[in-house]
């Protein structure tokens, strides 16, 4: 059959011929969609809004010890609340999901409840005070729960909100308390270390009090002074020795005594000593000298007395030089003793200076440890004080906190399914299914419907056409079909209105209204 363009009349004829092929699939699809919309259980949703309030006292005055952004703490709190133990406690308390307890495991039921709990963050665009760049800041969040019973949904949502708020307070107080205790323990430990280092430095300074780095300049000055004094003392000793030699020379040239007998006695005693070194006591010259010495001593004893026989020389010049020589020798001895002491002190100062670098290294190491420990102690002490203030801030609930601004309400209408949307989708799909089925029937039909089709097929001119002859039976059948079509149209309209009523209104509310209108049994 050759193709030819269809006009409006052809479409009308096709619609008349394929009205059942168009209507039946559309009605079936619409009815199925309506049944699906009506049979799906109503799901209610109860939500609560929680505001994230900043701390009342500016952060420049009191810095909180709770770290992390609000989003992180919200997510961590959510994970604690949605733990298996807590969810099982809520399920048992409110008898949730009774239809699944015989078919599902506890883990599957808990996972189902996790899917029914939703947490949505509410963010606004703001300017970051630290960077000056626009950023999204979380100012609040909503916590919601979905279920089949409106009252139960509200109670579960309230329970979740209370758990969320109490968990946040508990976590913040626990963090601040643990931080305060940790800083206190660290402060005490570092303070003990600082006291131990101070004690070590005190003992070290007592052991090396004269060789400390700060005494180096004093030791150098003392060493220079000692060396200068030693040089001056050497010069004085040299001068005294020269004076000693001079006095000895002068003294040797002056007779010790002016009495000849005394001089003779001295000479005899010297001769006796020389003879005794050569001969024995029985030698005649020795005996002779002894007798002569005895006679001289006897005469001197009679003249001066026996106690004055060994007095000091009586030559005044000799006595004066001898006194000067004795004084000079005493000065030399004193200077030598002073030089010995000064040399020992010089060596001591030199040893102190030599050991100062090693002592300085050890001393500086102790000082560095002491200074670092003190800086750490002061920093920990400052942080511990700030942590105590932050702990008071959290106990008084003056810090950042979650505030319930919109509590969970009992839902008045189901959250899902959207019955109207399902019904409209069913209508669209039904119309599409009917048009598609009618099109398939029409394009697969090879029947000749009009005289013009015979002319196109045979390529012969059409001479005459006989119209359809309507008998009384045909007219009755036509009227009967029109009546049936009208009844079906009215029935379809009624079903559609009823379905629309179900789709727009809550099914549970509708049945409640219907039961109130029915008379009591």
pLDDT value for 489 = 67
Strand ranges, E, within 337-439: 401-406
Task: Give the residue, 512 or 482, on which the prediction is more confident.
Answer: 482
Instruction: Please say if the pLDDT value at position 37 is more than 80.
Output: no
List own/partner pairs for 452-461 with CB under 8 A and 24 or more apart.
Answer: 453/1, 456/1, 456/2, 456/4, 457/1, 457/2
The tokens 């300074």 sit on which residue? 205
CATH of 44-189+380-406, one of 3.30.1890, 3.10.310, 1.50.10, 1.20.81: 3.30.1890
Sequence spans of domains, the chain? 8-40+417-517, 44-189+380-406, 213-358
39-88 tens-digit pLDDT: 778 888 898 988 877 665 545 544 554 444 667 778 888 888 888 888 99
Q: Which residues lie below 8 Å from residue 311, measured CB to CB, with a gap of 6+?
A: 304
Instruction: Please say if the pLDDT value at position 275 is more than 50.
Output: yes
How many DSSP H helices and E strands does the chain contain? 14, 4
Q: Which of 95-99, 143-147, 262-266 shows the lowest per-residue confidence on average (mean pLDDT)? A: 262-266
Question: Which residue in 77, 162, 169 sits closest to 407, CA to CA?
Answer: 162
The tokens 């005693």 sit on which residue? 269
Calculate ∠ Cα 408-411-414, nearest 5°: 135
Instruction: Please say if the pLDDT value at position 302 is more than 70.
Output: yes
Is domain 213-358 annotated with CATH 1.10.260? no
Residue 396 pLDDT grade (very low, low, confident, very high; cuts 50, 70, 90)? low
pLDDT value for 518 = 46
170 Rama sector, left if φ>0, alpha if ψ -120 to 50, beta otherwise: alpha
Over residues 398-414, the mean pLDDT reads: 78
Instruction: Please say if the pLDDT value at position 512 is more than 70.
Output: no
What percent of the chain is modeled with pLDDT above 70?
74
Q: Which residues lie below 8 Å from residue 9, measured CB to CB, with a gap of 6+?
A: none
Rounded CA separation 381/358 (Å) = 34
Instruction: Please say if the pLDDT value at position 2 is more than 50.
Output: no
pLDDT value for 387 = 72
**37, 423 contact by CB (below 8 A):** yes
Assessment of whether the complete model's pTM goes beyond 0.75 = no
């Amino acid at each position: 059959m050759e193709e030819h363009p269809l006009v409006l009349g052809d479409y009308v004829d096709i619609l008349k011929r394929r009205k059942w092929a168009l209507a039946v699939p559309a009605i079936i699809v619409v009815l199925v969609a309506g049944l699906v919309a009506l049979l799906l259980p109503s799901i209610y949703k109860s939500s609560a809004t929680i505001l994230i309030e900043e701390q009342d006292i500016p952060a420049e005055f009191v810095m909180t010890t709770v770290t992390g952004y609000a989003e992180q703490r919200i997510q961590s709190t959510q994970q604690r609340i949605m733990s298996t133990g807590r969810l099982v406690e809520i399920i048992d308390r409110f008898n949730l999901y009774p239809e699944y307890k015989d078919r599902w495991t506890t883990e599957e039921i808990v996972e189902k409840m996790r899917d029914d709990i939703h947490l949505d963050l509410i963010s606004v665009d703001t300017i970051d005070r630290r960077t000056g760049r626009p950023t999204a800041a979380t100012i609040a969040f909503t916590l919601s729960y979905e279920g089949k019973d409106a009252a139960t949904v509200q109670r579960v949502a309230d329970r979740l909100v209370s758990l969320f708020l109490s968990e946040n307070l508990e976590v913040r107080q626990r963090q601040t308390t643990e931080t305060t205790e940790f800083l206190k323990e660290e402060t005490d430990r570092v303070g003990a270390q600082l006291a131990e280092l101070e004690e070590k430095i005190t003992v070290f300074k007592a052991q090396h009090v004269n060789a400390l780095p700060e005494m180096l300049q004093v030791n150098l000055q003392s060493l220079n002074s000692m060396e200068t004094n030693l040089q001056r003392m050497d010069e004085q000793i040299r001068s005294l020795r020269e004076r000693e030699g001079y006095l000895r020379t002068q003294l040797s040239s002056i007779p010790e005594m002016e009495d000849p007998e005394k001089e003779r006695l001295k000479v005899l005693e010297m001769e006796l000593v020389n003879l005794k070194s050569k001969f024995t006591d029985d030698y005649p010259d020795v005996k002779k000298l002894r007798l002569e010495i005895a006679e001289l001593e006897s005469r001197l004893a009679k003249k001066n007395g026996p106690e004055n026989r060994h007095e000091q020389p009586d030559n005044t010049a000799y006595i004066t030089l001898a006194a000067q020589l004795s004084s000079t020798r005493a000065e030399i001895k004193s200077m030598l003793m002073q030089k010995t002491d000064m040399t020992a002190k010089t060596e001591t100062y030199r040893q102190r200076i030599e050991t100062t670098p090693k002592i300085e290294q050890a001393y500086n190491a102790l000082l560095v440890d002491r200074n670092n420990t003190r800086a750490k102690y002061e920093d920990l002490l400052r942080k511990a004080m700030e942590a105590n203030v932050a702990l008071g801030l959290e106990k008084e609930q003056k810090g950042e906190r979650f505030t319930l601004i919109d509590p969970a309400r009992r839902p008045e209408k189901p959250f899902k399914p959207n019955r109207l949307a399902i019904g409209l989708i069913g209508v669209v799909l039904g119309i599409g299914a009917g048009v598609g089925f009618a099109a398939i029937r029409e394009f697969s039909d090879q029947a000749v419907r009009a005289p013009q089709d015979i002319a196109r097929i045979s390529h012969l001119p059409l001479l005459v056409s006989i119209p359809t002859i309507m008998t009384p039976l045909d007219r009755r059948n036509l009227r009967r079909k029109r009546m049936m079509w009208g009844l079906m149209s009215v029935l379809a309209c009624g079903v559609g209105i009823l379905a629309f009523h179900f789709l727009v209104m809550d099914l549970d509310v509708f049945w409640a209204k219907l039961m109130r209108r029915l008379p009591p049994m």
